Structure formats: C-alpha cells, structure tokens
Amino acid sequence: MSGPLVVAGADQLLLRTDHPEAERCRAELARFAELVTAPESLHTYALGDIGLWNAASAGLSAESVIDTLLRYSSAPVPHGVLTTVTDTMARFGSLTLRRAAEGLVLAGDEPALLDEVLADPAAAALVELRIDSTSALVLDERRGALKQRLVELRHPVDDLAAMSPGLAHPLRLDADLDLRTYQRDAVASWVPSGSGVIVLPCGAGKTVTALAAMASIGAQTLVLTTGQAALDQWRRELLRFTDADPADLGEYSARRKELRPITLTTYQQLATRRRSGVRHLDEVQAGDWGLVIYDEVHLLPSAVFQLTAGLQSRRRLGLTATLVREDGREADVFALVGPKRFDVPWKDLEAQGWLAPAVCTEIRVTADRAELLAHAHAEPATRPAVAAAVSAKRRVAERLLARHEGEPALVIGTHLDALERVAAELDLPIVTGRTPANEREQRYGELRAGRLPALVVSNVANVSLDLPEVSVAIQLSGSWGSRQEEAQRLGRIVRPKADGRPAHFYTLVANDTVEVDLARRRQRFLTEQGYHYDIIDADAIA
C-alpha cells in the first residue's frame, strides 16, 4: 500500500487520516511541520522557517526530515521541497554570537554570508564594526535587536555567548519531590545553552520543571507571569516544593513593589508606566538576575518583547504548552527567548499515565430562525458573540451536566453576556475577570471540595487554574480561532484522576454560523497532538 502522505509543495503536505500509517506519520511531522487545516479525512501541513529551525536547534537533521517525507510519501517528493528543507535548516547555526577578547562577536561561516547580512541597512546599523571577513563586533545592548533583525532576514543566530551569572542565590528542591523523567530531561536539554523554551502539556508540571531549572542555576531569578492568580500560584509552588525563604520572595505587582532575590511579576505590570512616565520594566530590568523565566511564553505581550531584547545576557527560560501565537510573532520568541529546547507530545504523557485520556467531542447545535437572522445581519466582528448566545447551547450544557452528574465540571466561554445568561439559567455561580480575587478562590475551593457540581468561567480560567479533579469541560465559545486557547482549556481537565476516569472536552458549535470555521481552526494544535474530535448532533445527547 502507498504511504499516507502526498508532498505537493513545502506548504502542502497532505496527510490521509484513514491510512494505517497515518498516526505514525503525524507524530513525525509534528516535530518539524505545522498543521494548517484539519478536516476529517485530509490534514494539510506546511514547512515553515520557525518549525524547521526549532527542529534543527533540537538536534534534528535535515536528513532525518527528508527521510520522513520520503518514507511516508505515496509519490515522488518534489526536489524543491528537499532543497527547502536542506537550505532552511542549514541557516540555523551558520551565524553565531560568541564572546571573544574584542567583546561580543557575530561570526559567519564564510565571508559572503556576513557580506549579505551587512548589506541590509537595519542589520548594519546594529553592528559596531567589522573585525575581519567573517566577523563583526556587536554592542551588548544591541544583541536582542540584532537577533530579531537577522531572523527577519532568514539568518537566525545561534547565540553561544556566555551568559551573565547574576547574583548567586542557592535554591534546593524539597527532598520528597521526585521529578518525573521527562521533567529531568527537559531541564537537562535547557541547561547547556541557558536559553530557550520548554514545551510541556498543561497539567504536566511546567512550574515544577522551572523550579528544577532554578535550582540547577542557583542565581537570583525574575519570574514573569500572566496575572495575579498565576503569580500567587508560583509563590505557593515555590514554598511547597523548595527551601525558599518567604522573606526572599518579592512581588512586583499592582499591590506591592518588592525586588527580592526571587521576584514574581506580571506581563501587564511590566507593560505599564507609572504616572511619572518611568516604565516599571526599567526598574525590574536593573536587577542582577541570573535567570529570567517567561511563564506561558506564547502569551508574551508585544510591549514586553522590549524588556526581553534588553535581557539577552541573562539566562532565559520560556514555558508553554504550545508555541503557537495567533499574532504570528513566534519568530520573536525564537529570537529573544530562544529556540525550543524540549518538547514532549501530549499523547506520549497520556500513554505513560501522566495525563488523563481525553475524549474530545464537537456538538453541533441548531439556532432558531431569529438567531440565524441576527447572526446574518450582524457585523463580522460581532458574529462570534451572536453565535455564542444561541439558546440551544444552554439546553445541551444542561443535558451534559446531567450525563456527568457527580463529576466536577467547568462551563467555559469568552462572551460574558452569554455566560452570565447560562449561569443564571443553570443556577450556577460564575467567575469572570470582574470577580474579586477572594471570591474566585472561594468558588474554586468549593468546586475542589465537591460542594459545587460545576462552575461557569470566562477566559480567566484559561491559565494557572489548579483544579485537578475537574474532568468535564463544556466550551460554549472561544476567542476567534485561537489554537493556544483550545489547548489551555483542554489542559484544565487532563490531570490524572484518582479513579482513572477520562476527561471529557465538549465544544458546542452553532450550525450555519461563523463558529463552524472557527472551531476547525481552534482544534488544529490538539489535532496535531493526536487528539480526535468526534462531531455529533445535539440530538444525540440524551
């Protein structure tokens, strides 16, 4: 039988999902290609620069990539695709940054390469002077900006320059903490370079992995988080799993401004200015950090990239469940935080018992005539909100909760008006961005303790929410076609359960609305990880 793959071009790798070898081929493609579309029978992948450079930085050779394409293809692979793979992957490492007697030096494999780079005015302006035919001097403060520009020129730099050690601050993990094998492997993959991203599924212990990295470095550390809830969770984990002295933990947030040996802050805080005009990031950047950790690095705001560019001499660790960014700035993460150093597929951890098996189901509901007319006449930007409010979703959610009676559940969505209406109709409490922090924690605690059967939540529950026994998520709506959000929401429910029950992830999609296409786009990352969405009609829910 011919293989499951048709390689029509670098941006058109077509995988037949009904083929016996499709799953093995998918697992190999995920190492270097990006899933673009995922209809049920034929998935389309593309070979992009960042995917191939990340593969190269992780030690995958062009020969290995080409071998995968040739082995699974049912027809001859176009020579141009093989050339693209070889040429693109060879670009990573052809330019390096190193420390030398002269200072920070940009070096190329050959004179022609440096000539090409310095012919670009923007790149030339970031170089101090040419040393010889293959090297040039770069000022440290321009290190990040130069790396960004060279990625734009498709000449990614392998930054091998030694990192500043920062002020020492020893940290030990709790003696009773037994790191999982993949967590040890992740730290071991990151330590030699001191920069880059560790990709682990939600629920796989990214924070504990980062604590192990902190212990291996033993230096003052700045941790950037997504918000106050995440900051508080980091504090709890540090006190629970390490010998950190509470007096050494600082918080730089809206409620206090402390710079301590281990300082926790938020992206939002660093992106704002004080009334005096001084940026908070300037104050934080002045610390003698030996390590900067970017939690949920795929959410790194554009304003904080400037801070990252100025911290290139510090060790940098990015944490995420998916490197996908809907704004297309994966290249900036690659250039400024570093390449992907470690990645483990979700399904691998599920097979090892570290994640609960997940059953993903897309349920199609039918809007009534008035709702369809309202959707048709709405402005394009407001159609997702109209579709989110389709009344049939509440009835389906109610039936699903009854089906899973006794299992803690989240009813999750993006559009607040629709969420508040569902919460009222189902007589369930709701947590949104407007809910005070103490009330949020109270609701989460009630759900953990079993005093609430379910909780309605908005996007505030997408990240840094620790509800290990929740095994059901009913998704009423999402943020456009966000793949990262889909992964985060599934991640809320895949912690292994004490009784071994699977996680159930339901997505309610209104027929004949914009949601049908958005759902397909949102599911791409999880489909790439090996999850399958069964599509059923709402009438099938008893």
165, pLDDT greater than 70: yes
CATH number assigned to the domain comprising residue 309 = 3.40.50.300
- Could you say which of 344, 370, 389 is where a domain stops? 344
Confidence of residue 361 (pLDDT cuts 50, 70, 90): very high
Let me know: does 142 contact 106? Beta carbons within 8 Å.
no
Comparing 73-87, 91-105, 324-338, which segment has the lowest mean pLDDT? Answer: 324-338
306, pLDDT greater than 80: no
Same domain for 215 and 292, yes or no, is yes
Non-local (6+) Cβ contacts of 49 within 8 A are 88, 154, 156, 331
275, pLDDT greater than 60: no
What is the pLDDT averaged over residues 159-188?
A: 94
Structural domain span for residue 78 = 5-91
Residue 172 lies in a domain: no
Same domain for 434 and 463, yes or no, is yes
- Could you say which of 61, 76, 91 is where a domain stops? 91
Same domain for 357 and 247, yes or no, is no
Same domain for 236 and 297, yes or no, is yes
Report the distance separating Cα 404 and Cα 9, nearest Å.
46
Average pLDDT of every residue of the chain: 91
- Could you say which of 91, 125, 141 is where a domain stops? 91
What percent of the chain stands above pLDDT 70?
A: 98
Confidence of residue 273 (pLDDT cuts 50, 70, 90): low
The tokens for 97 are 């940054």
What is the pLDDT averaged over residues 490-509?
A: 92
Number of domains in the chain: 4
Non-local (6+) Cβ contacts of 419 within 8 A are 411, 413, 430, 432, 456, 458, 476
Residues 37-82 have pLDDT tens digits of 877 788 999 999 999 999 999 889 999 999 999 999 999 999 999 9
* Strand runs labelled E in 10-63: 12-16, 34-37, 42-46
Residues 423-444 have pLDDT tens digits of 999 999 999 988 988 898 899 9
Same domain for 185 and 146, yes or no, is no
Structure confidence at residue 279 (pLDDT): 67
Same domain for 381 and 480, yes or no, is yes
Residue 411 lies in a domain: yes
Residue 168 lies in a domain: no
What is the pLDDT averaged over residues 234-244?
A: 96
278, pLDDT greater than 60: no
Same domain for 309 and 334, yes or no, is yes
Residue 174 lies in a domain: no
CA distances from 413 to 385, 470, 488 (A): 10, 16, 13
Structure confidence at residue 211 (pLDDT): 98
Residues 197-207 have pLDDT tens digits of 999 998 899 99
Residues 399-416 have pLDDT tens digits of 999 999 999 999 999 999
